[in-house]
Amino acid sequence: MKKENSEKQLTGNSQNRRGMERRDFFKLVGGGIVIFFLPKCKSETVPVEEPGKRTLPKDYNAFLKIDEDGTISCMTGKIEMGQGINMSLIQIIADDLDVPMERIKMVMGDTELCPWDGGTWGSLTIRAFAPNMRKAAAEAKGVLFELAAGKLKVPVNQLVAVDGVISDSKDPSKSVTYAELARGKKIDRYLEVKPEVEDYTKFTFIGKSFKRNDSKIKVTGEAKYTGDMKLPGMVFARIVRPESLSGKLVSVDYSEAEKISGTTVVRDGDLVGVLNENYFLAGKALEKVKAEYSYDEIPVNNENIFDSMLKADSTADVETSAGDLDAGFKECAKVVETEIHDPFIAHAFIETHAALANFEKGKLTVWASSQTPYPLQDSLAERFSMPLNKVRVIVPFVGGGFGGKSKNQQAIEAARLAKVSGKPVMVIWTREEEFMYDNFHTAGVLKIKAGIDKNGLVKAWDYHAYFCGTRGAEIVYDIPNHKVTSHDSKADSPRVHILDTGPWRAPNNNTNTLGRELQIDQLAAAARMDPVEFRFKNLKDQRMIDVLKAAVELFGYVPAKRYPSGRGIGVALGTDVGTNVAEIAEVEVDEKTGKVKVVRIVCAQDMGLCVNPHGSTMQMEGCLTMALGYTFTEEIHFEGGEIKDRNYDSYELPRFSWLPKIETVILDRKDQPPHGGGEPAIIAVGAVICNAIFDATGKRLYQMPFTPERVLEALKKA
C-alpha cells in the first residue's frame, strides 16, 4: 500500500457526502486517468440501509487511477485484516490492464482518499467488488487505447498491450507507455456501460498462485497497526469499567488516581478516562479510581440461556418451504427429532480494539482497528455534529476481524476522550475489556424433525432456528417436503440475548450447518446406510455432488458396511456466500478422558473462479484451524451481564498440538463467477467432527463445544 505518498497530498482537501467533486478530486490526486465504478449489486454490498445512514453512492464507490508515472492505483474503502485481498485485487487489475503486478498500488480504508464502502465482511470483496473492478480496468484500457490510437495514428483494433506498453501489432516500433499517455491528462470516466471483460482463458495472473505481499513488513515488525501509531502530545486512556455489562455509574472518585505522575482524569457523561502519556502508568492510576456502579439482576446465564430462548415469545417466520410436511411425514418409515444448543463465542483476535483520535484545526482524524471505516465516519460525524468532510477515518493493518471489528465502540470512546481532554487520545482495550465488550457469535437453539421413507430417501424436513438466524440452513438435499422457520425477538418484546451479538466468521452458518448435517447423519444411521452414500442418494444439486466427490477422492474414503463403523470418520457438507464445501474428518476419541483428537481433515471447496488458489488455500486452512476452537473449547460463560471468561487463561483458542493433517482441494471452476473464500471452510467443521465422534463411539453430542466433560457424558448414555 502506498499510503505514505498519498498522505502527503492531503492538505485541507474535502470530500462531500457523495464523494469528491471532480475539481477537488484532481486537486487531491493530481492528474492522470481515473475510472470511477460501482459495486456489482447494491443489495449484496449494503445489507442494511438504516434510516439516517448513508446508502451506497449512486455514482461510484471505488476508482482506478493511472498515474502520470505509470503507477496504477486502486482506491477502495475495503480493509486488509489478514485475508490477503490486497494481493488478489492486484492480480485482477494486472490481468485486465496488462501491467506488471509491481506497478499496482492498493490504497485502502482511508475515508479521505477512498470512496465510500459499507465494510469488509461477508467474503464480498472478490465476489461482489472484483467483477466491477474488472470492468473499470477494461474501461481504463479502452481509454488508453483511444489515446494511443490518436498518438500513434493507428486504428484501435490494430493495437496490442503488453506490460503497460501499447504498440502497433503491424509495426512494433510504434509504441507508447501508459505513463506517457496519462502524462498531463485529467481524464475521468464514470463507468455506466458494461465493457467486455476478457475471457478467463486469456488470464495471466488470475487463477495463479501468488504469495502474500505484506509478509516482509509483518515479520520485521514494520507493519503498523492502530496501536502502533503515535502523535505528538498523545496520551493513552484507560477507561473506568463496571464488573458487569448491566453496570450504571453511580459515583466516581479519582482524586487518588490523579496523584500518579502525569495523570489526568477526564469525564464525558458516564465515560471516565484515565489519561497518561505512559500506558503502564495510566493503568496504575486506573487501579486507584474508586467507582460505584448499580447493577441489574439478570437471571440468565450460559446454562439456562437455551431454555430461555425456547420459552421466549418469538416470531415464526417461514424462510423456505415446499411440498406438504404432514403428507411427507406420513410417507416416512422413520422420523428423528433433534434439539441442538450452540453457545455464545468470542472473536478473540489477538489485536484488541484500538483507536487513536485527534481533533486539530476543526477536524477529527481517527485511526482505528475497524472493518467499517465509513460507518465509523458516519457515527463520529453524528456524535460530534461535524460535517463528514471534517471527519477522517484511517484503517491501518488490522490484527484480525472475523466480523468483530464492525461496531467501533473503542473509536467513539477515543474521540470522546480526545474531545474533552483536548489531546490526541489512544485507546487500546485490554484483553479483559475485549471479552466484555465483544459482540459475540449468537447463541442459538435448533429443533429439527425429519424423516426417511423405507428406501432411505428423506421425505420431510421441519427445521426451526431460535434466535440464531438461518444463514446456512439451506436444504441442500433433495427433500420434497420441507420448511425452515426462524424464531426471533418480536419487535416490541425485550431482547432475548442479553449479550451483544454480531457477525462471527460466516455468521450463524456454523450453527445451521451443524444442525442440518448432524440431522442428515442421524437419518443415515436410521437408514443403516453409510453417511457418504446416504448423502449421494439424497443429493440432486450437481455442484454439491461434485464437491462431495472431490472430498471423497482426496480422503480416499471407502464406504463402511455399517454405521457407526467404529472408524471415527465423519462427513459434512455446507454452503456459504455462494461457495460449497465438503469435509471429511477422522478422529480418535479417548473414552477414558473424553478428549477428542482430530487426526485428519479434508476439505473440498467449489468457489467458482478462484483468483489466487494459494491465498484461498490459506483461508481454508485458517478456517479449518480456527474452527477447532468453536468445536472443542470456545464458549462464553456468563452470569447475567457478568462475563466470566475475560482472558485466554479460561477461554481456550486452538493450539499447535491440536492440528490435524489438513488437506484441501479447490475445484477448477474458472468458467463460473467467483464466490466467497474467507469463510466457507469454517462452517462444516463442527458437524464433521460431531459425525466422526458418532462414527467412533456410536454416541452423539448435541451441544457445542464438544468438551471432554460433554463427550464423557454422551458416552455414559445408553
Positions that interact with other proteins (CB under 8 A): 81-84, 211-212, 214-216, 218-225, 227-228, 230, 277-281, 348-352, 397-402, 428, 430-431, 614, 618, 621-626, 647-649, 653-657, 659, 662
Shortest distance (Å) from residue 95 CB to other proteins:
21
Question: At closest approach, how far in Å is the CB of 297 from other proteins?
Answer: 30
Give the DSSP H or E segment for 6: helix 3-8
Closer residue to other proteins (CB): 470 or 664: 664
Specify the residue, 31 or 622, whose C-beta has the smaller distance to other proteins: 622
The residue among 276 and 365 lying less far from other proteins, judged by its C-beta, is: 276
| Beta-strand runs (E) in 181-326 | 186-190, 235-239, 248-253, 264-268, 271-276, 290-294, 317-322
Q: Which is nearer to other proteins, 200 or 280 (CB)?
A: 280
List helix spans (H) across 177-278: 178-182, 215-219
Q: How far is the CB of 579 from other proteins (least distance, A)?
A: 17
Question: Helices H, strands E: what count in the chain?
Answer: 20, 28
Cβ-based nearer residue to other proteins, 109 or 164:
109
Rounded (10°) CA dihedral 41, 617, 209, 221? 100
Nearer to other proteins, 433 or 474 (CB): 433
Cβ of residue 615: shortest distance to other proteins, in angstroms? 9
Closest to other proteins by CB, 393 or 398: 398
| Beta pairing, strands 642-643 & 638-639 | antiparallel
Residues 6+ apart with CB under 8 A from 657: none
Quote the least distance from Cβ 677 to other proteins, whole Å. Answer: 13
| Closer residue to other proteins (CB): 389 or 510 | 510
Q: Which residues contact 75 (CB under 8 A, 6 or more apart)?
A: 62, 63, 64, 65, 107, 108, 113, 114, 115
Query: In the bound complex, what is the minimum distance in angstroms from residue 229's beta carbon to other proteins?
Result: 9
Torsion angle defined by CA atoms of residues 504, 703, 572 and 515, in that order, rounded to the nearest 10 degrees: -80
- Residue pair 584/570 in contact by the 8 Å Cβ criterion: yes
Please name the residues in contact with 102: beta carbons below 8 A apart, sequence gap of 6 or more: none
Q: Minimum CB separation from other proteins for residue 417, in Å?
A: 18
DSSP string for 363-396? EEEEEE--S-HHHHHHHHHHHTT--GGGEEEE--
Please list, in sequence order, all residues whose beta carbon lies within 8 angstroms of the beta carbon of residue 380, skipping any fewer than 6 positions away.
364, 366, 386, 391, 393, 411, 412, 415
Q: Which residue lies nearer to other proteins by CB, 53 or 431?
A: 431
What residue type is assigned to position 8 of the chain?
K
Contact 607, 698 (CB under 8 A): no
Beta carbon nearer to other proteins, 165 or 235: 235
Could you tell me the smallest distance in angstroms from the CB atom of residue 614 to other proteins? Answer: 7
Residue 284: which residues within 8 A CB-CB, separation 6 or more? Answer: 260
Nearest Cα to 78, choosing from 102, 47, 107? Answer: 107
CA distances to 198, 207, 447, 536 from 305, in Å: 53, 46, 15, 37
CA distance 349 to 434: 9
The least CB distance from residue 549 to other proteins, in Å, is 25
Is residue 692 helix, strand or coil?
helix
Hey, what's the cell of 537?
442418494
CB of 72 to other proteins, least distance (A): 24
State the minimum distance, in angstroms, from the CB of residue 576 to other proteins.
Answer: 17
Nearest distance, CB of residue 136 and other proteins, angstroms: 27
Question: Toward other proteins, which CB reaches closer, 408 or 612?
Answer: 612
Burial class (CB in 10 A: 0-12, 13-18, 19+), 311: exposed
Based on CB atoms, which residue is closest to other proteins, 423 or 487?
Answer: 423
DSSP assignment of 250-269: EEEE-TTGGGSTT-EEEEET
Cα torsion through 608, 612, 614, 619, rounded to 10: -70
Q: Which is nearer to other proteins, 158 or 430 (CB)?
A: 430
Q: Give the Cα separation of 470 and 683 in Å (integer).
A: 13
Smallest gap from residue 591 Cβ to other proteins (A): 25
